[in-house]
Amino acid sequence: MFDIFIKTHFSGGHHLREYPGNCERPHGHNWKVKVTVRVRELDKLGMGVDFKTLKQQVNIVVDELDHRDLNEHPAFQDCNPSSEHIARYFFIQLKGVLTTERYQIHAVEVRETDSSGVIYYGG
């Protein structure tokens, strides 16, 4: 079994509704995102999933969120655009396109800073 990943990033603004502190005010982050696919078997070329394919699919989601006010995005109308919800959003959006007989999305990590983040495993 192999875990294959790519890292990317996006910038965006948000605020956490009803948060008891500064994060309730509009502010921004340069979110770092790591998407991991778990591979059960390699293809005939000896690859689990082509990095090019992985990057293309992840970039579709990144492009939806990059340089936006995340509170205005339809996915975050009923929930705060927290790192947890952002990680879950990536996972849900990628699950259909990164699931085959050989591999499936395993985890999405979202970091607000180098030392603070979450990992979502689905479910």
The residues that are catalytic are: 23, 67, 112
CA distances from 115 to 40, 54, 55, 90, 119 (A): 31, 25, 24, 20, 13
Q: In what order do the strands lie in the sheet with 2-14?
A: 68-69, 2-14, 27-39, 103-113, 116-120
